[in-house]
RNA sequence: GCUCGGGUGGUGGAAUAGGUAGACACGCAAGACUUAAAAUCUUGUUCCCCUAAAAGAGAGUGCGGGUUCGAUUCCCGCCCCGAGUACCA
């Protein structure tokens, strides 16, 4: 009898599939297409752990299933390889990040290869490859040379804008641009020199230079995007982040805010993810209202944005953001010193400090009043950092009765509070609900919130005091990084104005440097490059692009990865279209997933792609958790105290490798001392029984918590098929799962049982007779279930159903070649190596199982001739009776109440009703 | 605080359209094989009461209500856990 040795057969078939080019994908116009994509991984130095694999295994099962259903399946993999860790390593060691990256990629590929994943590796792409980033630069160049036409709701080439400027100036242009662009006539435009013209155009480009307040991370020496900063610290590395004014490249994603919002309705994504994008875009409608200051000499106009114009009569103060242009100039001399001091401290405060003091209201009075547009009452103007400079207009009208933040501020500084909406429940102020009737509001009195808003907007418009306005929380995306390991910008400067390099000069490759640190003068690392200038001697851009540049369009490149003349050919793009199913982490919701949608819409506008949403359906795999262990170090010493005694000392908890801890959390002391050089002379305070007990917690699996399980160890012990199956068997794809090795024996035993079904101890040969009813029923039921389970991504139940099938066929002693062959095709997407081995060697098929079509089930074999009915009395099941399906409802009723197990419950009671649900159950109501 | 998930045996989980709660697997217990152990196989395993055992009775899907002949599933109110978000006017 042959034994199941996964390590032998898995290597053999992996090589076979590679040699046969089994996963080669091409356009097959006679077949329907299916594009299934995993999120672009960053190849970190730590390699993969089993948590990363959940998604890869799931997509592989679907890809294999879809192929066996006759689809042309695009299932590629590649690497998003620019990024900070390789560069930090380069700064420390001097090793070029390209070498680090290549090593890491190789390790990833080996790990993925050992899992038997069916990627078409000929289509693999890497963002750091100049032949790839050539096109990232090319797309950036298109963004630089485009503007957004609001009337047509699409991006257009900058040449079209120049034509408009030549003919009519920019007074009539309806475009997304800088806040107040310089206005000019056609004649003025024509008289401008090139420099002046370029300055004007820059205000309209979709990729533009801008002085902005950025998240500066001194430790990393670079700026970070909003979503790369968590609680005032950098997401990578956890370094502090401060706010700083810098000239940066930005992308005008805000032009697409409305389309990014509307597009969510067309795509099949988790509601939570859509909701998060909606909140991130943060569309709010309201009005901008003008307030004029009182004062003898100078009168200023302050424009405030509000979503509640209906509460205008409740305004008791105005607040300016500290960064507001008027904040420094408005104050009366008596208040100016205090105000300037406040503004300086607040602006220099780091993001971190702002957050920790967020709950406290701070601010200063300017000494100046504005006039209420209707009551003509004076309204004090304050400055406070609870108003954000870059949202709305940077100025708000304070309505303390109906806004909690304004309420806190008013209470703090004893400003008056005027209630203007009657609260039906009469609860405490502030009353923020949009229900109720207006009061103390002159011409609005008695109106509902909705009607009052409408009336107020009309009145403001008529008196030219305000206009309806929609704002977005979404900011333009800062696109410069002061780093080496990223795509260089295809940009050079002429008299400090940016120009794009001609496309023939792309790719613009990264230069080699002697060091990857910033220059002594604080310039980015590219400042060290010799001859970093164009042929004509113009200086090139020193910043590089952020990590998300390459991942914003990679899904198109897989369609046509070797194209030298286009980023994707129209033929390939129109065949593969959007990704049908995208599987990856939810943590990319407000970053990658938003930027990829933005770039797709932009490329669509310019006519380069037909789709305008990149990912039709999206699923997030749940995170993998694992038990992590802690030891407790007495502060300032190398002494470690056991779990139960830790409270007697002042200790810090420290993660310890779970490999050094047994299942009862007992630490292996010697192994711990040898774990790291600095622990060599560690000493311990032990429990009474002489053991060191570690603390334990369930946490997200990660190398830094020392609780990661690498696939390599599992594969060495059980084989890739067992790992694939077990990862799916743990629970639903989208749910967080706890990895523990206990259950893996169960799925491994299942594969051994499967093996024995084909190589039984009895040695009975396979039969080619037509299978018996019982075997047919089992296999057809399983075909139905597996198909349904895969289609609803329920892989854990699919594995269960495969187990049930093997259990049943084993009990039956099934030897039918026909039935067993069908079973292998069902098993193949989950455990491809074992299925191929048994298909070719046990059953003696000549062709690969990959060519076998997914079996169809025959309804005829699923028909039952009878059904077991649970018989319930008042909903409680009392007995079960088998009835033939030919029985009528009346016959079932009569039989049920005549059954001895039932009659004893009916004694002395009257039957009120009998419910018979065909093929389900019977309920007797007494 | 807000938004979105989720609470089912000792454990992971199943129940796809309101119809037998606990599939499948782990663990545990007993037995077979073995000199013995491991491996393998067989049987049992929601809890509680009763019983020598069988049989039987009751409770039960976070808690409290509701709709229904019937609710893990639908509705209302609460509690707990997890994730995301944070002055966006």
Name the pLDDT band for A373 (thresholds 50, 70, 90): very high
Segment (H or E) for A224: strand A222-224
Indicate the pairing of strand A737-739 with strand A866-873: unpaired
CA of A356 to C1' of B61 (A): 42
- pLDDT value of residue A356: 61
DSSP assignment letter at A873: E
- What share of chain A in percent tops pLDDT 90? 58
Is the pLDDT higher at A763 or at A367?
A: A367
Residue A916 contacts strand B, CB under 7 A: no
pTM of the full predicted structure?
0.92
A348 or A894, greater pLDDT: A894
Distance, Å, A917 CA → B67 C1': 20
Residue A803 contacts strand B, CB under 7 A: yes
Residue at minimum CA to C1' distance from nucleotide B13: A731
pLDDT at res. A219: 78
- Angstrom CA distances, A840 to A390, A632, A803, A824, A843, stand at 66, 56, 22, 11, 6
Cβ-based contacts (< 7 Å) between A 302-331 and strand B: 305-308, 321
Model confidence pLDDT, tens digit, residues A260-285: 999 998 899 988 888 889 988 988 88
Q: How far apart are CA A9 and CA A874, in angstroms?
A: 57
Tens of pLDDT, residue by residue over A539-585, are: 999 999 998 999 999 999 999 999 999 999 999 999 999 999 999 98
What's the confidence (pLDDT) of residue A351?
58
- The answer to whether the beta carbon of residue A277 comes closer than 7 angstroms to any atom of strand B is no
The closest nt to A804, taking CA to C1', is: B24
pLDDT band at A830 (very low <50, low <70, confident <90, very high): very high
pLDDT confidence of residue A155: 97
Answer whether any strand B atom is within 7 A of the Cβ of A629. Answer: no
User: Residue A742 CA to B28 C1' — how many Å?
Assistant: 14
What are A83-125's pLDDT values in tens digits? 888 988 898 898 999 999 999 999 999 999 999 999 999 999 9
Least confident of A155-159, A486-490, A890-894: A890-894
Percent with pLDDT over 70 in chain A = 97
Q: Which helix (H) or strand (E) holds A37?
A: strand A33-38
The b-or-e profile of A666-685 (16+ CB within 10 A means b, else e) is: bbebeebbebeeebeebebe
For A462-501, how does the pLDDT look when each residue is reduced to its tens digit (9 = 90+)? 999 999 998 888 888 889 988 899 999 999 999 889 999 9
Q: Integer distance in angstroms from CA A903 to C1' B71?
A: 27
Strand B contact residues in chain A (209-228), C-beta within 7 Å? 226-227
Continuous segment of H or E residues that includes residue A754:
helix A744-758
The per-residue pLDDT for A328 is 85
Give A627's DSSP letter: E
Binned at pLDDT 50, 70 and 90, residue A231 comes out as low
Residue A260: both structure tokens together:
């990014």
Residue A716 corresponds to which tokens in the numbers above? 């060495």
* Closest residue, by C-alpha, to the C1' of B4: A272
Q: Is the CB of A562 under 7 A from strand B?
A: no
Which tokens in the block code for residue A610?
A: 């037909």
Lookup: tokens for A679: 């622990």
A644 secondary structure, DSSP code: G
Residue A534: the pLDDT is 93
Nucleic acid strand B within 7 Å of A925 CB: yes
The closest nt to A589, taking CA to C1', is B84
Per residue in A176-203, pLDDT tens?
988 778 899 999 999 999 999 999 999 9
Query: Which nucleotides of strand B come closer than 7 angstroms to any CB of the protein?
Result: 3-6, 11-16, 19-21, 23-27, 40-41, 57-59, 69-71, 82-89
| Crossing angle of the two packed helices A795-812 and A773-791, in degrees rounded to 10 | 170
Q: Scan for tokens 């699409």, then name that residue.
A: A154
Beta-bridge mates of residue A196? none
Backbone dihedral angles phi then psi of residue A216, each to the nearest 5 degrees: -100, 130
Q: Whole-angstrom Cα distance, residue A100 to residue A98?
A: 6
Protein CA A9 to sugar C1' B33 (Å): 30
A411 touches strand B (CB under 7 A): no
Does position A158 have pLDDT exceeding 70, yes or no? yes
How many CB atoms are closer than 10 A to CB A65?
22
Per the DSSP assignment, residues forming a β-bridge with A654 are A631
Torsion angle of alpha carbons A544, A547, A548, A549, nearest 10°? 30
Residue nearest to nucleotide B71 (CA to C1'): A875
- How far is the C-alpha of A748 from the C-alpha of A834, rounded, in Å? 12
Backbone angles phi, psi at A723, to 5 degrees: -60, -45
The owner of tokens 């007074």 is A171
Q: How many other β-carbons are positioned within 10 Å of the β-carbon of residue A459?
A: 17
Average pLDDT score over residue span A444-471: 92
State how beta strands A364-371 and A283-293 pair. Answer: antiparallel
Residue A752 token pair: 């051994």
Beta pairing partners, A287 = A306, A468
Rounded to whole angstroms, what are the CA distances from A181 to A200, A211, A479? 7, 14, 21
Indicate if CB(A786) is under 7 A from strand B. no
Question: By the 8 A CB rule, do A419 and A440 touch?
Answer: yes
The Å distance, CA of A11 to C1' of B10, is 39
- Nearest nucleotide by C1' position to the A741 CA atom: B26
The integer distance in angstroms from the CA atom of A878 to the C1' atom of B46 is: 18
**Distances in Å between the alpha carbon of A670 and those of A165, A180, A641?**
78, 69, 15
Give residues 694-733 of chain A lying near strand B (Cβ < 7 A): 729-732
Of all helices (H) and strands (E), which one includes residue A343?
Answer: helix A333-348
Asked whether strand B has any atom less than 7 Å from the CB of A424, the reply is no
Q: In this structure, is the CB of residue A792 within 7 Å of any atom belonging to strand B?
A: yes
| Residue A66 vs residues A120, A781, A896: alpha-carbon distances, Å | 15, 20, 47
Given a contact cutoff of 8 angstroms between Cβ atoms, the answer to whether A452 and A435 are in contact is: no
Read off the pLDDT band of A216 (50, 70, 90): confident
For residue range A393-439, list pLDDT tens digits in order.
999 999 999 988 898 899 889 999 999 988 776 677 788 888 888 99
Rounded, the Å distance between the CA of A800 and C1' of B14 is 9
Predicted confidence band at A159 (pLDDT cuts at 50, 70, 90)? Answer: very high
Q: Report the distance separating Cα A240 and Cα A772, nearest Å.
A: 71
Q: Which residue is nearest to nucleotide B6 (CA to C1')?
A: A735
What 3-state DSSP class applies to A505?
helix
Radius of gyration in angstroms for the set of CA atoms belonging to chain A, rounded to a whole number? 34
């Amino acid at each position: 009898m042959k034994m199941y040795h996964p390590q032998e057969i898995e290597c053999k078939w992996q090589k076979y599939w590679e040699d046969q080019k089994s996963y080669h994908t091409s356009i097959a116009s006679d077949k329907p297409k299916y594009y299934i994509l995993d999120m672009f991984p960053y190849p970190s130095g730590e390699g993969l752990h089993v948590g990363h694999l959940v998604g890869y295994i799931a997509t592989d099962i679907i890809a294999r299933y879809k192929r066996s259903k006759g689809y042309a399946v695009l299932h590629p993999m590649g690497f998003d390889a620019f990024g900070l860790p390789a560069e930090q390593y380069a700064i420390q060691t001097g090793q070029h990040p390209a070498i680090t990256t290549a090593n890491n990629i190789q390790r990833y590929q080996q790990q993925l290869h050992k899992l038997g994943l069916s990627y078409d590796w000929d289509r693999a792409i890497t963002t750091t490859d100049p032949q790839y980033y050539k096109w990232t630069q090319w797309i950036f160049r298109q963004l630089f040379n485009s503007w957004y036409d609001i009337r047509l709701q699409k991006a257009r080439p900058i040449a079209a804008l120049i034509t408009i400027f030549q003919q009519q100036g920019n007074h009539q242009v309806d475009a997304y641009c800088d806040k107040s662009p310089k206005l000019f006539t056609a004649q003025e435009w024509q008289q401008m020199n090139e420099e002046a013209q370029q300055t004007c155009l820059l205000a309209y480009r979709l990729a533009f230079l801008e002085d902005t307040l950025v998240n500066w991370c001194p430790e990393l020496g670079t700026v970070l995007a909003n979503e790369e900063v968590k609680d005032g610290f950098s997401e990578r590395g956890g370094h502090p982040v401060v706010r700083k004014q810098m000239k940066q490249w930005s992308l005008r994603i805000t032009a697409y805010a409305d389309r990014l919002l509307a597009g969510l309705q067309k795509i099949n994504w988790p509601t939570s993810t859509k909701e998060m994008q909606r909140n991130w875009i943060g569309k709010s409608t309201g009005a901008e209202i003008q307030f004029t200051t009182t004062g003898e000499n100078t009168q200023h106009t302050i424009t405030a944005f509000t979503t509640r114009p209906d509460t205008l009569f409740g305004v008791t103060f105005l607040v300016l953001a500290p960064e507001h242009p008027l904040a420094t100039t408005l104050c009366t001399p008596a208040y100016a010193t205090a105000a300037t001091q406040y503004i300086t401290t607040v602006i220099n405060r780091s993001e971190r400090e702002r957050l920790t003091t967020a709950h406290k209201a701070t601010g200063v009075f300017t000494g100046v009043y504005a006039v209420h547009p209707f009551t003509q009452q004076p309204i004090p103007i304050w400055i406070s950092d609870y108003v954000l400079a870059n949202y709305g207009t940077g100025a708000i009208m304070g309505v303390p009765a109906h806004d909690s933040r304004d309420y806190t501020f008013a209470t703090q500084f004893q400003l008056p509070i005027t209630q203007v909406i009657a609260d039906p429940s009469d609860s405490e102020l502030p009353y923020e609900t949009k229900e109720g009737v207006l009061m103390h509001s002159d011409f609005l009195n008695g109106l509902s919130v909705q009607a009052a808003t409408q009336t107020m907007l009309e009145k403001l418009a008529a008196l030219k005091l305000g206009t309806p306005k929609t704002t977005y929380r979404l900011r333009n995306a800062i696109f410069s990084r002061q780093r080496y390991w990223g795509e260089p910008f295809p940009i050079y400067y002429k008299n400090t104005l940016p120009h794009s390099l001609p496309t023939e000069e792309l790719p613009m490759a990264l230069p080699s440097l002697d060091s990857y640190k910033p220059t002594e003068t604080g310039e980015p690392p590219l400042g060290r490059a010799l001859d970093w200038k164009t042929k004509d001697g113009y200086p090139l851009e020193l910043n590089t692009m952020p990590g998300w540049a390459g991942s914003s369009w990679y899904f198109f490149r897989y369609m046509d990865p070797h194209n030298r003349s286009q980023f994707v050919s129209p033929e390939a793009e129109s065949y593969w279209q959007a990704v049908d199913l995208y599987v990856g982490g939810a943590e990319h919701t407000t970053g990658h997933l938003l930027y990829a949608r933005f770039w797709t819409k932009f490329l669509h506008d310019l006519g380069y792609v037909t789709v305008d949403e990149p990912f039709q359906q999206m699923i997030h795999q749940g995170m993998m958790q694992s038990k992590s262990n802690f030891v407790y170090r007495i502060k300032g010493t190398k002494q470690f105290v056991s779990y139960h005694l830790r409270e007697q000392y002042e200790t810090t908890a420290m993660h310890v490798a779970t490999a050094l801890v047994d299942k009862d959390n007992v630490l292996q002391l010697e192994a711990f001392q040898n774990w790291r050089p600095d622990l060599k002379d560690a000493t311990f305070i032990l429990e009474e029984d002489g053991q060191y007990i570690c603390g334990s917690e369930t946490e997200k699996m990660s190398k830094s918590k020392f609780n990661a399980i690498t696939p390599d160890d599992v594969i060495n012990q059980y084989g890739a098929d067992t790992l694939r199956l077990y990862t799916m068997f743990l629970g639903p794809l989208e749910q967080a799962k706890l990895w523990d090795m206990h259950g893996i024996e169960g799925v491994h035993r299942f594969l051994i049982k499967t093996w024995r079904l084909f190589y039984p101890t009895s040695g009975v040969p396979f039969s080619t007779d037509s299978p018996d009813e019982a075997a047919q029923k089992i296999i057809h039921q399983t075909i139905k279930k597996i198909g349904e389970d895969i289609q609803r991504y329920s892989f854990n139940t699919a594995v269960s159903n495969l187990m049930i099938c093997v259990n049943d066929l084993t009990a039956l002693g099934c030897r039918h070649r026909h039935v067993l062959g069908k079973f292998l095709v069902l098993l193949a997407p989950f455990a491809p190596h074992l299925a191929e081995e048994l298909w070719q060697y046990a059953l003696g098929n000549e062709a690969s199982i990959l060519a076998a079509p997914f079996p169809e089930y025959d309804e005829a074999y699923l028909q039952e001739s009878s059904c077991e009915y649970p018989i319930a009395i008042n909903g409680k099941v009392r007995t079960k009776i088998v009835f033939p399906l030919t029985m009528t409802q009346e016959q079932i009723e009569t039989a049920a109440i005549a059954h001895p197990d039932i009659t004893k419950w009916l004694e002395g009671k009257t039957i009120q009703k009998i419910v018979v649900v065909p093929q389900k159950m019977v309920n007797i109501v007494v």
